[in-house]
Structure 1
Amino acid sequence: RDPVLLAARGLGTARGRRQPVGSGIDLDVRAGRVLAVTGPNGIGKSTLGLTLAGLLRPAAGSLRAGTALADGIGDAPAAWTSRQLAGRIGTVFQDPEHQFVARTVREELAVGPRALGAADVDARVDELLDAFGLAHLADANPFTLSGGEQRRLAIGTVIASRPPVVVLDEPTSGQDRATWQAVVDRLGELADSGTAIVAVTHDRDLVRALDADEIVLGAT
């Protein structure tokens, strides 16, 4: 079977110290597989996504990184530095504009791979501009893009760094049919290449198209 990169056992999640959301969650995030996190609004899907991404500490139970992901830095993602996280787990937030830091779309796509010392930054950026239908917006300010364009840029920005795990919150939100297909195709290619993908989603077509494993929060 595909290697386990993240394993949650009895995991409890919380938005803050006094806001428990989920409990008793058992799941594995495997290399080359897509895990869809589904369930009704308000059940804690985004909170689980942020916890799996190492951005929130578990409120209970455990979240451990496998040996291939931890690579000698300890197996608790919430204890990793931002730089350690960036090279291992990429995250696209529910509101993607909160993660933009550069003045243009092209510069935004280059931030991650440049920080990690990649040798082929320009090639990665050009390829992602084409793949996500953003080439005509390369010199635009990310904050002037539509919601759907911003989401595609956020996904491109994360995968430009090629982390082994990618956590995406509603990756197909705001897309028309053509751009939906572009997002799904790229996520499928990532999984085929060995990337582990966690998708917080309401999109049943996405779950089916990617043959995703599924955890349904709130199911009894």
Structure 2
Amino acid sequence: MEAAPALAAGLGPGPVRWRSRELLTRIGTVFQEPAHTFVAPTVRAELEVGPRALGLRGAELAARIDPLLERLRLGALADAQPHTLSGGEQRRLSVGAVLAGRPRVLVLDEPTFGQDAVTWAELVALLAELLRAGTAIVTTTHDAELVAALADARLELGRAAVTA
């Protein structure tokens, strides 16, 4: 399998040969079982894994992580152990950990699973913003409302391009 030249951006065409640090900013994957992906002792540290691998430290790291903590409603849980979170919190953490690397392509397995109405709306709004900003999103989901919201965001993109 080859990646499009824009995604490869100077790397070889096969993502299978890319280093993990090179993948961080290109393809982010959220798996169905978030707890199986956690590697850090706290929620904040989990969100920092990718950006630290990219060399971010100090204020630059905080500027990337703090907004994600708040946007995903995980701020009060920043010092919690990821495995102690509820299923919905774990899902948001796994999405946030991927978003922290700012990949150009997101592959998401049931990203809205386990969310209440408020966190669902915030997560969907965040994904729609990323889509409108040019992030490619591939998702497997049973959530028809998520699909509709992302389709609406994509249509907005098309209308903006036509009127520009």
TM-score using structure 1 length: 0.65
Higher RCO (Cα < 8 Å, 6 or more apart): 1
Cα RMSD (Å) of the superposition?
A: 1.4
Consecutive unaligned residues in structure 2, runs of 5 or more: 155-164
Consecutive unaligned residues in structure 1, runs of 5 or more: 1-62, 214-220
Structure 2: distance between partners of 1:118 and 1:65: 26
In 1, are the aligned partners of 2:24 and 2:102 still within 8 Å (CA)? no
Q: What are the superposed Cα offsets for residues 82-129 of structure 1, whole Å, 9 maximum, x if unpaired?
A: 222222101111101111111110111111111112362101111011
Structure 1: distance between partners of 2:106 and 2:148: 19
Q: Which runs of structure 1 show a deviation greater than 6 angstroms over 4 or more consecutive aligned residues?
A: none
- The corresponding residue for 2:13 is 75
- The corresponding residue for 2:74 is 134
- The corresponding residue for 2:116 is 176
Structure 1: distance between partners of 2:94 and 2:74: 11
Q: What are the superposed Cα offsets for residues 138-185 of structure 1, whole Å, 9 maximum, x if unpaired?
A: 100000001100000000010011011111110001111111111101
Matches within 5 A, 1:1-220: 63-118=1-56, 120-211=60-151
Identity %: 59
Structure 2: distance between partners of 1:171 and 1:91: 10
In 1, are the aligned partners of 2:110 and 2:141 still within 8 Å (CA)? yes
Give 1:192 shift. Answer: 1.5
Give 1:80 shift. Answer: 2.1
Give 1:78 shift. Answer: 2.2
Residues paired across the two proteins, number: 151
Query: 187-196 or 114-123: which moved more?
Result: 114-123
SS of residue paired to 1:64? coil
Give 1:194 shift. Answer: 1.3
